[in-house]
């Protein structure tokens, strides 16, 4: 079963919508609450990353009986140095974004911690695609 | 809703635990003492203020917070506890494992009777409740605890009895023991913000069901951190807006505030409460209560959810409620669970009728099966 959500860069008022919708569906399917929590935390972080850093993006959530696959495709600046981006506390977020309480440099490490697998494809100047998998 | 008023005369000592919300159902000009005298005339031998235990409870909450997993969610509102069990199971461990004021006060009076050597069959402790959720909390408490409360009396029903007696100037022939000891903290505790106000650290007070759900969603998503204590109440204006409270919630809360100004911030029984009872009880782990929406088998559940999503696209999407479900989404879910039919939708039914796929008689039958026979005929005659 596939869900699709559009995300606009800079629109913090809508950030978290996809995560809430996916959470609602997983609850209705009776998925274990500790697994739902990991999905929501990972997806929320990834969703906020698009809002904070990219111009726009699409989130695809594929729910199967074995687990959930999340694919977040954005058009944006890309990540020049993935190793640094994966370091806790490292952030390229603008001061404006930090003022809103985002950009603490926990995004990607947090996603990685909550996911069973995380694959990042990125091209500087074009965009980033995140593939997150969490098994039920 | 059935209640236990008839039972009270089975006991020699008949105690009524009265919440401060009850006195606030009346205009400020009606004296508490007058209300208590009427309660005695109606059959009780003793009245006690429910919130007498609040002062000692607040100390215990602050002690509890020192070692507990944060944020601690207050155990005061039973509707919130049940909401968390069903809808936010990952938060059950945050629910404070301390008894609410009503249970501590009931314990206190039970212990007092025991000390006086009065047999359990001789006394009944009744609770005048502003809220239906509290009835469930007393009759089937969470965490393997057994309440000392004998029975529950609905506040709206009892208000009518008391107010009628007041209006008809029922002569007072019986005497009643009034345990009115109460601090201003106690009076205000059931109102919004007056529990969290006395708790140390960063606290928030949230009331109203929609606000509560929105906030718990955020908390569950880990969007909120560094909060120590959450006062969460299902009703708008907390217990002043309880379902069995008939008076306007803002006026009720105002009366409670007015009364609180007239009492000191401490009372005579506090030390005695400290010695004889406690909010700390051995409580089992509070368990989540899962709700199976589609099926226990996730394969089947996914298929049904997909069907519901397709159906939702066919339905008009205006959430008119004429089918009996609150929204088109809810009807779609009911249909895949075999609890409703696609014909339940008045818009689709009209289209089927136009196409000749269903007769006018049948569409009326469907309407009557949802809303009852002759229901709409009557409106026509009027």
Q: Could you read off the pLDDT of A3-29 as tens digits, one per residue?
A: 999 999 999 988 889 999 999 999 889
In the predicted structure, residue B382 carries a pLDDT above the cut 70: no
Q: Is residue B291, in this structure, part of any structural domain at all?
A: no
pLDDT band at B287 (very low <50, low <70, confident <90, very high): confident
Closest to B76 (Cα-Cα) out of B180, B226, B153, B188? B188
- Structure-token pair, residue B343: 């014909």
Query: Span B45-73, mean pLDDT?
Result: 95
User: Is residue B271 domain-shared with residue B302, that is, in the same domain?
Assistant: no
Closest to A49 (Cα-Cα) out of A123, A117, A112, A103? A103
User: Is residue B162 domain-shared with residue B84, that is, in the same domain?
Assistant: yes
Residue to substitute from B215, B219, B223, interface A, most A β-carbons within 10 A: B223
Q: Is residue B284, in this structure, part of any structural domain at all?
A: no
Cβ under 8 Å to A: B residues 10-29: none
Of B222, B295, B305, the CB nearest to A41: B222
Sheet of B203-207: strand order equals B72-73, B229-233, B203-207
Q: Is residue B340, in this structure, part of any structural domain at all?
A: yes
Domain of A21, in residue numbers:
2-135
Residue to substitute from A3, A23, A27, A106, interface B, most B β-carbons within 10 A: A27
User: Is residue B40 domain-shared with residue B187, that is, in the same domain?
Assistant: yes
Torsion angle, CA of B134/B139/B143/B149, rounded to 10 degrees? 80
CATH of the domain at A8: 3.30.565.10
How many other CB atoms sit within 10 Å of the CB of residue A119? 11
Name the strand (E) or helix (H) holding B178.
Answer: strand B177-179
User: Is residue B350 domain-shared with residue B229, that is, in the same domain?
Assistant: no
Q: What is the Cα–Cα distance from B32 to B26, expressed in whole angstroms?
A: 9
Closest to B127 (Cα-Cα) out of B24, B7, B26, B232? B7
Nearest Cα residue in chain A from B333: A28
User: Is residue B331 domain-shared with residue B244, that is, in the same domain?
Assistant: no
How many Cβ pairs closer than 8 A exist between chain A and B? 56
pLDDT band at A101 (very low <50, low <70, confident <90, very high): low
Name the strand (E) or helix (H) holding B360.
Answer: helix B360-371
Number of domains, chain B:
2
pLDDT band at B1 (very low <50, low <70, confident <90, very high): very low
Cis? peptide before A104, omega within 30° of 0: no
Query: Is residue B306 less than 8 Å (CB to CB) from chain A?
Result: yes
Nearest Cα residue in chain B from A68: B302
B302 contact residues in A (CB cutoff 8 A): 1, 29, 63-65
Query: Is residue B87 less than 8 Å (CB to CB) from chain A?
Result: yes
**Residues B166-182: pLDDT tens digits?**
999 999 999 999 999 99
Q: What is the Cα–Cα distance from A6 to B27, expressed in whole angstroms?
A: 55
Predicted pLDDT of residue B285: 74
First to last CA, chain B: 31
Decide if B130 contacts B76 (C-beta within 8 A). Answer: no
Query: Span A87-98, mean pLDDT?
Result: 74
Q: Is residue B286, in this structure, part of any structural domain at all?
A: no
Closest to B259 (Cα-Cα) out of B24, B2, B75, B44? B24
Query: Span B304-332, mean pLDDT?
Result: 93
Q: Which residues contact B281 (CB under 8 A, 6 or more apart)?
A: B99, B145
User: Is residue B118 domain-shared with residue B12, that is, in the same domain?
Assistant: yes
Q: What is the Cα–Cα distance from B151 to B44, expressed in whole angstroms?
A: 13
The beta strands (E) that lie in B199-290 are given as 203-207, 229-233
pTM of the model: 0.81
Query: Span B184-203, mean pLDDT?
Result: 97
pLDDT band at A105 (very low <50, low <70, confident <90, very high): low
Domain of B345, in residue numbers:
298-381
Decide if B49 contacts B186 (C-beta within 8 A). Answer: yes
Check CB contact under 8 Å for A30 and B301. Answer: yes
Q: Is residue B353, in this structure, part of any structural domain at all?
A: yes
Residue whose structure tokens are 């000592």: B13
Number of domains, chain A:
1
Closest to B278 (Cα-Cα) out of B101, B139, B134, B126? B101
ipTM of the complex, rounded to two decimals: 0.81
Of A29, A37, A136, the CB nearest to B90: A37
User: Is residue B325 domain-shared with residue B231, that is, in the same domain?
Assistant: no
Lowest mean pLDDT among A109-118, B21-30, B185-194, B358-367: B358-367
Predicted pLDDT of residue B282: 66
Q: What does pLDDT average to over chain A?
A: 89
Q: Is residue B146, in this structure, part of any structural domain at all?
A: yes
**Residues A27-81: pLDDT tens digits?**
889 898 889 989 999 999 999 999 989 999 999 999 999 999 999 999 999 988 8
């Amino acid at each position: 079963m596939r869900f699709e959500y559009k995300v606009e860069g800079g629109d913090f008022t809508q950030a978290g919508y996809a995560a809430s919708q996916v959470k609602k569906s997983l609850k209705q399917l009776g998925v274990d609450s500790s697994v739902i929590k990991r999905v929501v935390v990972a997806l929320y972080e990834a969703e906020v990353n698009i809002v904070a850093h990219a111009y726009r993006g699409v989130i695809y959530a594929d729910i199967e009986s074995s687990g959930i696959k999340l694919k977040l495709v954005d058009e944006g600046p890309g990540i020049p140095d993935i190793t640094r981006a994966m370091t806790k506390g490292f952030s390229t977020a603008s001061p404006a974004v930090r003022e809103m309480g985002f950009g603490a440099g926990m995004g990607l490490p947090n996603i990685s911690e909550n996911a069973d697998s995380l694959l990042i494809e990125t091209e500087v100047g074009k965009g980033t695609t995140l593939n997150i998998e969490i098994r039920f | 809703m059935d209640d236990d008023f008839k039972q009270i005369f089975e006991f020699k000592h008949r105690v009524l635990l009265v919440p401060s919300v009850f006195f606030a159902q009346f205009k400020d000009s009606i004296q508490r003492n007058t209300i208590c005298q009427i309660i005695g005339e109606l059959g009780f031998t003793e009245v006690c203020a429910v919130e007498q235990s609040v002062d000692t409870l607040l100390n215990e909450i602050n002690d509890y917070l020192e070692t507990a997993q944060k944020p601690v969610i207050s155990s005061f509102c039973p509707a919130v506890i049940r909401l968390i069990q069903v809808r936010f199971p990952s938060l059950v461990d945050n629910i404070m494992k301390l008894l609410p004021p009503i249970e501590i006060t009931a314990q206190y009076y039970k212990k007092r009777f025991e000390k006086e050597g009065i047999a359990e069959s001789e006394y009944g402790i009744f609770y005048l409740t502003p809220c239906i959720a509290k009835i469930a909390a007393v009759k089937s408490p969470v965490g393997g605890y057994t309440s000392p409360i004998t029975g529950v009396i609905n506040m709206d029903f009892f208000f009518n009895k008391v107010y009628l007696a007041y209006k008809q100037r029922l002569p007072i022939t019986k005497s009643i023991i009034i345990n009115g000891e109460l601090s201003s903290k106690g009076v205000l505790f059931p109102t919004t913000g007056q529990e969290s106000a006395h708790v140390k650290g960063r606290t928030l007070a949230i009331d109203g069901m929609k606000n509560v759900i929105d906030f718990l969603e955020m908390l569950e998503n880990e969007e909120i951190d560094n909060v120590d204590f959450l006062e969460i109440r299902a009703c708008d204006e907390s217990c002043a807006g309880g379902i069995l409270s008939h008076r306007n919630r803002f006026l009720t809360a105002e009366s409670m505030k007015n009364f609180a100004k007239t009492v000191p911030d401490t009372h005579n029984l506090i030390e005695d409460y400290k010695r004889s009872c406690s909010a700390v009880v051995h409580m089992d782990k509070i368990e989540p209560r899962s709700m199976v929406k589609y099926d226990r088998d996730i394969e089947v559940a996914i298929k049904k959810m997909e069907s519901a999503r397709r159906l939702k696209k066919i339905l008009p999407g205006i959430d008119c409620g004429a089918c009996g479900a609150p929204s088109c989404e809810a009807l779609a879910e009911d249909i895949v669970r075999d609890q409703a039919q696609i014909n339940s939708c008045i818009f689709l039914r009209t289209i089927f009728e136009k196409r000749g796929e269903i007769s006018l008689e049948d569409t009326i039958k469907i309407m009557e099966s949802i809303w009852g026979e002759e229901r709409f005929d009557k409106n026509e005659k009027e």
